[in-house]
Amino acid sequence: MNSENYQTPGDVLSFNTNTAVTKNLGVKLVAGDKIDEASVAGSRIIGVSGSTESAVDKTIDVIKGPSKKYVTSGAAYADGAELAVDAAGKFRTATAGQIVVAYALEEATATDQKKLALVLPPSQYRVASANIVALTDNTTGAAGDTLAAIPNPTDSPATADALRDDLNTNVLPVIRDHIASLGAKVNAILAVLDAQGLTL
């Protein structure tokens, strides 16, 4: 199954070329119901070119997802990586803000390699996004499952020092615990989302 002609069933559509088109690249629809190689990094595509055609106005097949199809790498990427097209229609790891159009089914170690990918149908495209970094808790508070009532400062403290001591002893520790608890819950939610591949 190492032939670049291999593909699993997907919609095969025929279009005329607007310019020369190379096989195994992401292609876009242009005016006149014709196709060009994708030319904007991270953009939508209508599918992957099924053959090479160097002339204009020649019929070419376009494989639309869902389909397992060989694609041309634009850079090294990992097996299982979310893929987007680059400005040459080649496939590389999607970065934040780019449209995910395929998933790598094989690792690519360099550019211009033919690697099997799961090409997605346009209805399943989504925008890639970066993981939110987990919160670092330096509050010195103790995280818990309950947000306790924050006590009011003592009425009419005798001195500013007395007010400060009251805040330090009775109020600030509770606030620190609240912040620590909220931070722990946020990090727990992020961990679950990340484990499910639901990055934010």
Percent of the chain past pLDDT 90, that is, above it, reads 62
- Give the pLDDT score at 196: 63
Prediction pTM value: 0.67
CA proximity to 119, closest of 181, 62, 185, 59 = 62
Confidence of residue 5 (pLDDT cuts 50, 70, 90): low
Topology given in CATH for the domain delimited by 11-127: Virus Head Decoration Protein; Chain: A, (2.40.300)
Tell me what the pLDDT averaged over the chain comes to.
89
For the chain, give the DSSP string. ---TT-B-S-EEEEEEESS-B-TTSEEEEETTTEEEE--STT---SEEE-S-B-STT-EEEEEESSEEEEEEBSS-B-TT-EEEE-TTS-EEE--TTSEE-EEESS-B-STT-EEEEEEPPGGG-EE--PPPPPPP--S-PPP-S--PPPPPPPSS-SSHHHHHHHIIIIIHHHHHHHHHHHHHHHHHHHHHHHHTT---
CA proximity to 89, closest of 31, 51, 44, 120 = 44
- Give the pLDDT score at 102: 97
| Residue 9, pLDDT above cutoff 70 | no
Q: Which two tokens stand for residue 83?
A: 């893929």
Cα 84 to Cα 55: distance, rounded to the nearest angstrom: 26
- Give the pLDDT score at 8: 60
Cα 155 to Cα 32: distance, rounded to the nearest angstrom: 79
| Residue 90, pLDDT above cutoff 80 | yes
- Give the pLDDT score at 11: 82
105-128 burial, b at 16+ Cβ within 10 Å, e below that, comes to bbebeeeebbbbbbbbeeeeeeeb
- Give the pLDDT score at 40: 95
Q: Which two tokens stand for residue 134?
A: 């987990």
* Residue appearing with tokens 């939508």: 44
Confidence of residue 101 (pLDDT cuts 50, 70, 90): very high
Q: Tell me: the pLDDT tens digits for 105-145?
A: 999 999 999 999 999 998 899 888 776 778 888 888 899 89
Confidence of residue 190 (pLDDT cuts 50, 70, 90): confident
For 114-128, give the DSSP string. EEEEEEPPGGG-EE-
| Residue 173, pLDDT above cutoff 70 | yes
Domain ranges in the chain are 11-127, 131-200
